Amino acid sequence: MLWTTLVCKQESISYIYLRWAFNSLPFRIAPYIRVVFFILNIRELRGTILILAGMLSTYFNVLALGLLFLLFSSWLAYVIFEDTQQGKTIFTSYGTTLYQMFVLFTTSNNPDVWIPAYKTSRCFKSELTKQVAEKDQMRKRILDKAFNLIDEYNVGFLNKVQCIRLFEELNKYRTLPRSSREDFELIFDELDDSH
């Protein structure tokens, strides 16, 4: 009973004050004030708000670091692309560069910023192609080494016993689903292309 009386008095006082102070505003602030009163009257919520308020300095540090990174990378892009085609079309001024870099870092349409440079840069395409080919070759070498460790008879394939032993070893990992020996045999029969 005391609780409802207190809340009603707080609501009416806040409504009267806000109605008098902000008469020309197109929206009502009283519902938001009610939420604040609600939060302040519940101990757990009050504690949570205090914890979040204590973390504000960390949030501001991260925000300042992000802003500093955006300013520096925009300046760097403006300087690097100054005499290029992208500098004449996309990075025309520091303000435009800052906006383009903000779009690049924050939104899903960031390819709009880097696709024109990618299309005109043959060097980048060849470098990217070379890196992809190197990664592919490295992956193939690693897989060949792993397969050679498993292939005890050096015949270029695994027989049924070797495959079942491999599946049993894979069964020891918690991230993979458990399978029975019958499932292993069915998997081997399905993967076996010798018949």
Q: State the Cα–Cα distance between residues 30 and 14, nearest whole angstrom.
A: 6
Per-domain residue ranges for the chain? 2-54, 66-120, 126-191
Q: State the Cα–Cα distance between residues 121 and 128, nearest whole angstrom.
A: 11
Mean pLDDT of 135-152: 91
What is the percent of the chain where pLDDT is above 90?
18
> Does residue 21 surpass a pLDDT of 80?
no
Q: Is the pTM of this model over 0.85?
A: no
Q: State the Cα–Cα distance between residues 143 and 21, nearest whole angstrom.
A: 73
Strands (E) in the chain, as ranges, are: none
* Residue 69 banded pLDDT, cuts 50, 70, 90: very high
> Does residue 16 surpass a pLDDT of 50?
yes
Q: State the Cα–Cα distance between residues 112 and 23, nearest whole angstrom.
A: 45
Q: State the Cα–Cα distance between residues 131 and 138, nearest whole angstrom.
A: 10
Highest mean pLDDT among 4-8, 68-72, 111-115: 68-72
Is residue 39 within 8 Å of 45, Cβ to Cβ?
Answer: yes
Q: State the Cα–Cα distance between residues 78 and 99, nearest whole angstrom.
A: 11
Q: Name the residue among 153, 154, 151, 186 with its Cα closest to residue 166.
A: 151
Highest mean pLDDT among 26-35, 50-59, 151-160, 166-175: 50-59
Q: What is the per-residue pLDDT for 137?
A: 94
Q: State the Cα–Cα distance between residues 68 and 89, nearest whole angstrom.
A: 25
* Residue 18 banded pLDDT, cuts 50, 70, 90: low
Q: State the Cα–Cα distance between residues 27 and 103, nearest whole angstrom.
A: 32
Q: What is the per-residue pLDDT for 6?
A: 46
Q: Which two tokens stand for residue 29?
A: 């602030």
Mean pLDDT of 4-24: 56
Mean pLDDT of 120-149: 85
Q: State the Cα–Cα distance between residues 91 and 99, nearest whole angstrom.
A: 9
> Does residue 7 surpass a pLDDT of 80?
no
Tell me the average pLDDT of the chain.
81
Q: Which two tokens stand for residue 179?
A: 């399978």
pLDDT (tens digit per residue) in 33-65 = 888 888 888 888 888 888 988 899 999 999 999
